Amino acid sequence: MKISIPGGKIMKTVMVVEDEGPIALLLKVYLERAGFNVHIAPDGEEALENLKVVKPSLVLLDLMLPGRDGWSVLDYIRRQSSCPVIILTARGAVQDRLYGFDQGADDYIPKPFDPDEVVARVKAVLRRPDRLVEPEIIRYGSLKVDYTSRTAAINGSPVNLAPRDWELLAFLARHPNMVFTRDQLLDNVWGLDYDGGDRAVDVAVKRLRQSLLGWPDSDGEIVTVRGMGYLLRV
C-alpha cells in the first residue's frame, strides 16, 4: 500500500510480522524514520487476516511465531502475490537461509540485527524491478499441471475439474510428498474465511481422485494418511 502525505510524497507500507513487542517497536521506529508507513502483526493469523486490507509493499517476517509459523505465512503470500518478503529470524543456520530463499524469500536477515541494516535491506529489495510472472508447469509423469492456464492434463488429454478441485490439485502439486491435515487444506485451499466443516475436504479429494483415474499409480497418487490427512505421493 502507498499512502500520500502533504507535499505529494508517497509512503510505502511495510508489514512487520513479529511477536516480540520490543523488536517490533524498534523496527517501527527506524522504518518510520526512513519514511515508511508501518503495520505490526503480532502473529501469523493476524498477518494473513490483514494482508488484503493493508496491502503492504513489503513484509518483514519472523519465523518463530505463535500459532501459524512464518513458513506457513510465507507460503500463503507466495501463492497469493509477488509481495516482497524479508525473513528476520533467530534461525540463522545456512540450511534455514537456503530453505528460505528456496521458498521464495527475497532476503534473509538473522537476529540479532542492526536496525539500520534492516532499513537498508528493505530499500534495496523495494528498488528491485517487479517480478515477472512466467508460465509455470509442474509434471508428475503423465500428469501436467499448468498454473498459467489453470488446467490439468493426463497424456495430453484435458482433465475436467471443478474450480475447488483445481485449487486442491494445484496446492498438493506444489507440495509433493507432504502430509496436510484437513484443517490445513481448508486454510490453504478453501481460505481462512471458510466456515463449513472439514467433510468438504474428503468430498473434494474423492472427486479429484475420480478425475485423475487415468493417471497411473506409478506416476503418483493422492494418498490418505490415517489419522493425519492427505498427501500427493510422487
Residues 14 and 98 in one domain: yes
Helices (H) then strands (E): counts for the chain = 8, 12
223-229 long-range contacts, Cβ below 8 Å, gap at least 24? 225/179, 228/179, 228/181, 229/179, 229/180, 229/181, 229/182, 229/184, 229/185
Here the CATH number for the domain that contains residue 116 is 3.40.50.2300
Which of 93, 127, 161 marks a domain boundary?
127
Nearest to 44 by CA among 79, 19, 14, 81: 19
Query: Cell numbers 509512503 correspond to what residue?
Result: 11
Residues 90 and 186 in one domain: no
For the segment 208-233, what is each residue's pLDDT rounded down to a tens digit? Answer: 999 999 999 999 999 999 888 999 99
d(CA 182, CA 208): 15
Residue 165 pLDDT exceeds 90: yes
Please tell me the predicted confidence (pLDDT) of residue 8. Answer: 46
Residues 43 and 81 in one domain: yes
For the segment 111-132, what is each residue's pLDDT rounded down to a tens digit? Answer: 889 999 999 999 998 887 655 4
State the DSSP code for 34: T
Domain that holds residue 207: 137-233
The pTM (predicted TM-score) of the whole model is 0.56
Residues 84 and 153 in one domain: no
Helix 163-174 with 199-211: angle, nearest 10 deg: 90
